[in-house]
Structure 1
Amino acid sequence: MIRAAALLAIASVAALTINDTTIDKHLLKRLSSYIDSNKTIDLDKLRNLNKTVLLNKELVTILNNYVNEQNESKPMQSKVSDDTESYSVYENGKKGSTLVESIEESPDYASSIVLASDVLSLTSAVSNIEDEVCREQGYQFLDGLLQNKRWALKMFDASSKSPEGLLYGSSYHLGNFDECIGIHDEGETVTVDGQYCLATIKWPQPQETKKSRLGRGEILRWAVCVPSACDAKAVERFVGDVLARSVGNKTTVRVEHRDCYFKEPITVSTNDVAFLSVMLFFLAIIFISTAYESACLLRRSKSKTITHQLIVSFSLINNGKKILFTEQTNSMGLDCISGIKTLSMVFILSGHTSLFVGTGPVMDESGWDNAVKNPNNSLILNSMLLVDTFLMLSAFLFSRLLLAELDKRRGKLNVIPIILFRYIRLTPSYLAVIWFYITWMPKIGEGPLWKEKVMLEQERCRENWWINILYVNNFVHSDTMCMFQSWYLSVDTQLFLVAPIFIYALWRWRRAGPILLGLSIAVSVAVTAIITYKDDLDPTLMIYAKEFTDLISNYYFHKAYIKTYMKMTTYFMGLLTGYILHRVQTENYEFTRLLKVFGWITNIILGTVTMFLVSIFYQDWYAYNNIESAAYASLSKLSWGIANGWLIIACATGNGGILNKLLTWKVFVPFARLTYSAYLVNGLVELFYLGQLRHPLHITTYSLVEYALSHLMLTFFFGALLCLIFESPIHGIEKILLNKFVHSKSREAARKEQSQGSSRSTSQSKLES
């Protein structure tokens, strides 16, 4: 009876798709074997498949004869009735439902995609859905599929089918996102909208494969298009049931709320309105300020009042000039810093692009695996050292400039205003980007990974934004950090707070100060080595695709990489470099030829070895050794600090040669001024690109360069906008207030001191006479 009912269901489907009395024997054999392997299918489930379908008697006869020929020992126990009766899904087999009068779409198309085995699996899975509304819409989908309705065919077509390239490493099967969410059918009783869900399927793998850090792991992402009434748990159960019938129960399926997406009206909250209001307020100020400066330029007014300066600080003309102005008149010889900052930022951003693209949806796992093993890609893979370069530059500039101020003020310096103004300079732009994450970022796009990437970032920022602006997010809730790149600002700020102690010691005590800093560098190297050795950590942040589905949840990233005590070495080397340059320039020290040769040879060897040695740790033949990891993790920062320190000192003292000409190239100056804003907005560019990606990518060196260049252009473009609206105006106001309140007090103190000195000199001369 069960085999007869199953055959009846299969014949019903085939009757819709075949117009003559001939049928391929391979298809019949497949159907017959499928029936034999599913003898436990419940009769009600088979009836659910057969709603309002016309039977083709001649085709059924062919199927009966073929099955009888193949199974002579198992003759059919029932005959197919000639009556064109049908079963209703919702009435569970009762007669009397309306017959199908016509087929809406091309039968040839249906016959190419709708196999009986697929429909049987789907029917069984739908019948197991607990939610009534979801189950009802699922049955409507099956009915539409059997009746060749366009919306149902689209729902089936938008879902992933038999995976291709699994052995090639293709783990993302994204279906057709736009086709799915565009589905809308207003049925007689139920309205069905398409919902795109990206299920995570875990396939069992051999233990040897699990141990390997290469590849994409045992995770398969599988797109399925379902009715929007179904929640994540229902979809999870549905996909699990379908897989159980096709591949058995050896797979694990997970579908979360953020894995599903369907079209719904955009909701605007009070926070969204507040963000727009603030943005419009700033834009209005910028417009008024620009108009005011334009009028002043037309009248050739040369007002220098505080009010005038405050107004034009928001002007696009004024800020545009500041960004594009390429002339540098630095008496300390620090022109090369612009080139170092720009080139470092280019490789840092390229590293971000490669990380997100290479560890995201790709067609071949071997593309990224080969890229990480190629020493030529070390500049991208080891871009973490270039982030350390920024830390070193921050420390170097602070040290060099503060030492000069201490000389001018004879050691009298209040660092509280410096710290306060730094916070004011950094935070507004930072907060604006965080606020955009929280409000409008999730509303500007859509895609298969949109909720998983962009909306996850929104959730993290909603919870932890206040931790970010306190600059402690690398220690507090670091595993749910808002903005993956924001750790750098926290590390830099925390070290900035303790830097004045070392800088003052260097200025005040010529012997004890350098000894204190030298001991601190030694301790920082030891701390990094001990932690790496003790916890069996990697030598650096190793970019393996299977470990970077979410950067922030990566163990090494939030447990070691972003911690301040793991970054102290490079920062202290920056302080030392600033002190050495200060002594060299104030004492007019001239480098000997031997010292120059030794310095450049040391620079080239240490810089090259430190940068490219990381490739060894990615090779297949390398076996992990915690001593080697500890040595590289600690000494790489020290050697990189020495290499960069010599580069800065040599260029600042006119001993940089061709490198000095390159690093002082005027083209780098505008980009150097945009590095902070570019660093803030880069996460938006990377998350947007990955979230809206519709298909897996093919990874080659050429494609990585292509993606990096395009992302660089977008990052600096949006960075320029952020700089014009927030960073540059705030920086301008800071300089005005700093000159007004801090420098005026300094000048007043200097005048008093000069006056007192003059009086003492006069009195002394009178006494002597």
Structure 2
Amino acid sequence: MKYILTFIIVYLFRTRAHVTSNVKFDSSTKSAIDFHDENLLTSSDENVDDDIKYEKDYSGYRYMDDIVYGLKTENWTNEDLPCLNETLRLIRSLQNFTTWAVWEWDSVSSQPLGILSGNRFQLGNFDQCMSSPWDTNHHEIKTQYCLAEVALETTNHVKKKTLDEIEPYGNALDLIQHNTPYFRPLKYLTWGACVPACCQPQSVERLMRVVLSRSHLGAAGLRPAIHVNETCQRPDEPKTFDSPFYAFVVMIGILFVVCIVCTIINNKGNADFRKRNVICNAFCIVENAKDLLKMRKDGIEVIYGIRFLTICGVVMCHQSGAIDAGPTSNGIKLDEAQRVIGWFVLHDDLLVDTFFLISAFLVAKGILEYENMPSILLLILRRYVRLVVGLAAVIFFMAAVIEHTGSGPLWNRFIDVEADTCRENWWLNLLMLSNYINVNNMCLIVSWYIPCDFHYYVIVVIVFALYKRCSKLGVISAIILTAASVIIPGIVNYANKLHAIQLFTHEFRADPRGNQQFSLTYVKTHTRAASYAVGFFAGCWFIKYKAKENFRISQARSLTYLCAAFAVMVFIAFLGVSYQLRSYSELEGHLYAALNRPIWAAGVALIILTCSFGQVPLVTGFLKWYPWVPLSRLAYGIYLVHFIIIMRNVAIARNPEYYDSFSVFITSLGVICISMLFALLLWLFIEAPANKLFVLLFKKRSTEKKEVSGNEVKNSVDIPYQDTSGKTNSGFIDDNLPNTILFSKM
């Protein structure tokens, strides 16, 4: 019994000593010099048993000691010493498991994860770093969140291979260093770090170099190049509201109040009152909403469905591209998916040519229906107002408000950059010059389409006016311009040795403004005009045969034409993508660069004409479905706002997103719905009132001129504000001028 009691006492004493040694926390902080002088971890002690030695040699302690050793071997300057001391104090407190130190260290990715599957962004926990409970009380432990760009380079000779050539027992460096034109490089990382607030960018680079060298990548002998190029984010530096922000809020508030008041006044009055009070009618929300619901029976109702479905495709393509450019956990799978549906992802810019075709088709239809040619300047001015009002409102929002709508580890990279470009170059967008001047800093990058379409409209109006004065000269000019629109893209492609198509690869999506082909051919007016030319001639053909009441296409021919159009469009799209999978001659590539867009546009034009004159009830009925009418008229607003929503979703991302095609589809539907809501508000409160006020302004001038002259004959200035029946109408744009509602893409 005595021996049993002695054993129990000894056992309890040893257990108490063991537990005490493991829960001894020290919340005090010491200087870096004190930390190095004190031997916290003893590797051997004759008075402790093997279990306690194991606890003392726990890998977490060894890891932190290794980090300290790495920090000591770095070449620190006097400017870096505050950061070094604070980091060493952090590690000292971390080894004692002090709350503030664990909180800070726990918000950092200690080592990159998932890089072999294309997970570039190692963001850690941004919110934990930026919102600690003691931010306002303990300024000595302030933190900041920094993003560093890491390039994993090696001095060893590495045989670069493609993904299909990688062997499971080969060197992983072959995979990390692989590089193809169509797959993302795996050697680049964007790493988020939560560091003391006193650390300078060069200090952060040294800290992250030490941590990376202690990760599993350090075994490969990599020599990482690390750079902190962006300003670190701090929780104590909130963005202040400036005068542009307040100006935007006041402008929106005034427009909202005016529209509500005018709507109330307009609805209380009778028909005569509404007719006399044209200003109230212009701002009336109910009247502007009714304009969206008007369906014009002019024989080309299929365009309603085509343009809305096309803008939906554009949104989905942009959504897919944004996921590719942002944090993605399985980037390699995304690249592989592009090879399966490559025509939709890598050559989806053909959708934009659909909009060029529709715009030109409606312009041709509109101006050919004029009995007398209106004033050229008036037509151009009206077109400009139609385009620029909504664009100006969106640019104003981008420059003044968007930076206050969220936060995130990538917020400065995506949103602040976009806001800065709009503050600097907004005037280029409003002057329709953004696709030629300072393209690398274009405000709202998807807006490149607007100046292109405006330039085409100006050229068409001038050439048509020339045709009215001298038909032979007008026809010759049209032929020359059409031939040039087809030839110039091939010449530019040949002169700059560019790829046959603009590939929407990861490299492009990460920095589209820096892409050479994007700035040389993709956004330029002179290289995208061929589809517009096809649309104009298709519109002329439609007007010619519409006058023949008995002209119809048989059902057999209709089905043949429709199948041929689809076949041509699919073929031209897949042919372009095939150039990334096979070798081809330069001549073939340049010819494709010149012809692929007009051929695609010809296919779309054939569908429109076949549905208009032919007998394909299933397709025609679907495209003429009435709900497409209001939705298609909101397409310009959807184009203006959808990319802002997509960009914000990427900028607020805290963690990498898993790429899945169905998830992209679902997310895109949400973006389309939200974009439609904002497009509706943009139309009701800004676009529709501005269009109607413009009509009223020149209508009043026209009336005054007729009263002075005493001439009862209609003045030519009045003509743009009459429909084809001769009735004056100051409502929706379709009732006043050629319907040239626009859509766009990047």
Note whether the superposition's TM-score is higher than 0.5.
yes
Partner of 1:130: 79
User: What pairs with 1:389-428 in structure 2 (closer than 5 Å)?
Assistant: 389-405=354-370, 408-409=371-372, 412-428=373-389
1:150 aligns with 2:134: no
What is the rounded CA distance, in whole Å, between the counterparts of 1:597 and 1:124 in structure 2?
A: 76
What is the rounded CA distance, in whole Å, between the counterparts of 1:345 and 1:301 in structure 2?
A: 37
Partner of 1:501: 462
Moved more, 361-370 or 260-269: 260-269
User: What pairs with 1:690-709 in structure 2 (closer than 5 Å)?
Assistant: 690-709=650-669
Partner of 1:172: 121
CA deviations on 1:256-289 (whole Å, 9 max, x unpaired) are 2246454523312122222222122112212212
Shift in alpha-carbon separation, 1:381–1:293, aligned structure 2, 3 A: farther
Query: What secondary structure does 1:466 align onto?
Result: helix
Query: What secondary structure does 1:257 align onto?
Result: coil
Partner of 2:635: 675
What is the rounded CA distance, in whole Å, between the counterparts of 2:285 and 2:553 in structure 1?
A: 48
Amino acid at match of 2:694: E
Partner of 1:356: 322
Q: Of residues 468, 478, 481 in structure 1, which corresponds to 2:439?
A: 478
Query: What secondary structure does 1:196 align onto?
Result: strand
1:604 aligns with 2:566: yes
Shift in alpha-carbon separation, 1:110–1:447, aligned structure 2, 3 A: farther
Partner of 1:271: 244
Amino acid at match of 1:426: L
Q: List gaps (5 residues or longer) in structure 1.
A: 1-16, 23-43, 70-106, 755-769
Distance apart, 1:118 and its partner CA:
3.2
Partner of 2:45: 61
Query: What secondary structure does 1:527 align onto?
Result: helix
The root-mean-square deviation of aligned C-alpha atoms, in Å, is 3.5
What is the rounded CA distance, in whole Å, between the counterparts of 2:397 and 2:614 in structure 1?
A: 44
Partner of 2:171: none
Shift in alpha-carbon separation, 1:602–1:125, aligned structure 2, 3 A: same
Partner of 1:582: 543
What is the rounded CA distance, in whole Å, between the counterparts of 1:150 and 1:113 in structure 2?
A: 20
Shift in alpha-carbon separation, 1:665–1:381, aligned structure 2, 3 A: farther
Partner of 1:615: 577
1:191 aligns with 2:148: no
User: What pairs with 1:29-108 in structure 2 (closer than 5 Å)?
Assistant: 47=33, 49-50=35-36, 55=40, 60-61=44-45
Partner of 2:513: 552
Shift in alpha-carbon separation, 1:63–1:355, aligned structure 2, 3 A: farther
Moved more, 463-472 or 554-563: 554-563
Partner of 1:571: 532
CA deviations on 1:669-711 (whole Å, 9 max, x unpaired) are 1111111111111121111011001111121221221222222
Partner of 2:482: 521
Amino acid at match of 2:484: V
User: What pairs with 1:4-403 in structure 2 (closer than 5 Å)?
Assistant: 19=19, 47=33, 49-50=35-36, 55=40, 60-61=44-45, 115-122=64-71, 130-131=79-80, 133-183=82-132, 185=134, 191-204=140-153, 206=158, 209-243=178-212, 247=218, 250-258=223-231, 260=233, 262-296=235-269, 300-306=270-276, 308-323=277-292, 325=293, 327-330=294-297, 332-375=298-341, 378-403=343-368
Shift in alpha-carbon separation, 1:646–1:129, aligned structure 2, 3 A: farther
1:457 aligns with 2:423: no
Give the conservation status (yes or no) of the 8 Å contact 1:539–1:632.
yes
Q: List gaps (5 residues or longer) in structure 2.
A: 1-16, 23-29, 162-177, 716-746
1:491 aligns with 2:435: no
CA deviations on 1:573-625 (whole Å, 9 max, x unpaired) are 11111211121123447245486466434423222212333332343xx2364
What is the rounded CA distance, in whole Å, between the counterparts of 1:61 and 1:357 in structure 2?
A: 55
Amino acid at match of 1:267: T
Amino acid at match of 1:199: A
What is the rounded CA distance, in whole Å, between the counterparts of 1:255 and 1:63 in structure 2?
A: 49
CA deviations on 1:106-133 (whole Å, 9 max, x unpaired) are x999959964323443566696572455
Query: What secondary structure does 2:190 align onto?
Result: strand
Give the conservation status (yes or no) of the 8 Å contact 1:196–1:261.
yes
Shift in alpha-carbon separation, 1:159–1:624, aligned structure 2, 3 A: farther
Moved more, 519-528 or 339-348: 519-528
What is the rounded CA distance, in whole Å, between the counterparts of 1:540 and 1:263 in structure 2?
A: 47
Q: Quick one: percent identity of the two aligned structures?
A: 24
What is the rounded CA distance, in whole Å, between the counterparts of 1:552 and 1:395 in structure 2?
A: 27
Q: Of residues 685, 699, 718 in structure 1, which corresponds to 2:645?
A: 685
Amino acid at match of 1:722: L
Shift in alpha-carbon separation, 1:701–1:245, aligned structure 2, 3 A: closer
Give the conservation status (yes or no) of the 8 Å contact 2:93–2:101.
yes
What is the rounded CA distance, in whole Å, between the counterparts of 2:59 and 2:702 in structure 1?
A: 79
Give the conservation status (yes or no) of the 8 Å contact 1:313–1:732.
yes
What is the rounded CA distance, in whole Å, between the counterparts of 1:695 and 1:506 in structure 2?
A: 59
Give the conservation status (yes or no) of the 8 Å contact 2:111–2:212.
no
Distance apart, 1:302 and its partner CA:
4.1
Structure with the greater alpha carbon radius of gyration: 1
CA deviations on 1:280-317 (whole Å, 9 max, x unpaired) are 21122122122223433xxx4542435x2211322222
Give the conservation status (yes or no) of the 8 Å contact 2:338–2:345.
no
Moved more, 654-663 or 571-580: 654-663
Give the conservation status (yes or no) of the 8 Å contact 1:573–1:638.
yes
What is the rounded CA distance, in whole Å, between the counterparts of 1:219 and 1:284 in structure 2?
A: 51
Distance apart, 1:514 and its partner CA:
4.7
Moved more, 443-452 or 196-205: 196-205
1:711 aligns with 2:685: no
Query: What secondary structure does 2:512 align onto?
Result: coil
How many residue pairs get matched?
662
Shift in alpha-carbon separation, 1:256–1:305, aligned structure 2, 3 A: same
What is the rounded CA distance, in whole Å, between the counterparts of 2:486 and 2:548 in structure 1?
A: 31
Shift in alpha-carbon separation, 1:456–1:302, aligned structure 2, 3 A: same
What is the rounded CA distance, in whole Å, between the counterparts of 1:61 and 1:705 in structure 2?
A: 63
User: What pairs with 1:745-760 in structure 2 (closer than 5 Å)?
Assistant: 751-752=712-713
CA deviations on 1:371-419 (whole Å, 9 max, x unpaired) are 21113x53344331111111121111111101111xx22xx42111111
What is the rounded CA distance, in whole Å, between the counterparts of 1:403 and 1:455 in structure 2?
A: 46
Distance apart, 1:465 and its partner CA:
0.8
Distance apart, 1:455 and its partner CA:
0.3
Amino acid at match of 1:710: G
Distance apart, 1:527 and its partner CA:
1.0
Query: What secondary structure does 1:191 align onto?
Result: helix
Distance apart, 1:721 and its partner CA:
2.0
Give the conservation status (yes or no) of the 8 Å contact 1:480–1:553.
no
Give the conservation status (yes or no) of the 8 Å contact 2:361–2:535.
yes
Give the conservation status (yes or no) of the 8 Å contact 1:464–1:481.
yes
What is the rounded CA distance, in whole Å, between the counterparts of 2:47 and 2:544 in structure 1?
A: 96
What is the rounded CA distance, in whole Å, between the counterparts of 2:81 and 2:40 in structure 1?
A: 29
Partner of 1:538: 499
Distance apart, 1:507 and its partner CA:
5.5
Give the conservation status (yes or no) of the 8 Å contact 1:654–1:660.
no
Give the conservation status (yes or no) of the 8 Å contact 2:117–2:333.
no
